[in-house]
Amino acid sequence: MSRASSLHRLQQVESDLQASANRVAEIDRRMADSEAIRKATAAHDAAQAKLQAARYAAHAAELETESIKAKLSAAESALYGGTVRNPKELQDLQADCESLKRHIATLEDQLLERMVELEDASTAEAAASRALDDVQAREIAGQASLSGEKTELLHRMERLQAECEAALASVDPADVAVYRALRQSKAGTA
């Protein structure tokens, strides 16, 4: 085999080896960093935060309604209990009871709205959770495929490395030095 053909063979093997190494690096990056999973996780986290806020708002509205109902109960007990005999105080208690009843009706409407928001947030969180699970399943399947490709590439790289060593053994060391200098100065193509 001539010097030129030996060097040409060495370049082909090294180029294939570099291309395989580049692909392995790309596979490693893709396996380590999944944009789809990041987006689905962010959407799921946002849905969970919204659900938590809706739960808190519904609970707060429920507590406020219960508090006003307790005040109404106390006011009605005083009104109908017979302990208050002053007509002016009775009128004030009557007005307080009516005001509390109107306020309770408003609070119950708000509580109903909070419950609807809670249900919507729960539905959105469940959908985001399913979407995240789907993305993770697709990613796992894709990563299994990438892992298989990576294994094949690593075996190929071992074989190419052996070929490279054999090709280097058949080339004069002075020619290898010139070849390396040219390869470096010509961006990988001597």
Torsional class of 164: left (φ above 0), alpha (ψ -120 to 50), beta (otherwise): alpha
> Rounded to whole angstroms, what are the CA distances from 95 to 43, 76, 86, 108, 142?
49, 11, 14, 20, 69
- Residue 11: what pLDDT? 77
Identify the weakest region by mean pLDDT among 71-85, 97-111, 120-134. Answer: 71-85
Q: Quick one: CA torsion of 9, 12, 15, 20, rounded to 10 degrees?
A: -110
CA angle at 60 for the pair 55 and 62, rounded to the nearest 5°: 95
- Residue 48: what pLDDT? 92
pTM beyond 0.75, yes or no: no
* Contacts with 24 (C-beta within 8 Å, 6 or more apart), sequence order: 150, 153, 154, 157
Secondary structure of residue 163 in the 3-state scheme: helix
Q: Share the mean pLDDT of the chain.
A: 85
* Contacts with 168 (C-beta within 8 Å, 6 or more apart), sequence order: 10, 176
- Residue 143: what pLDDT? 77
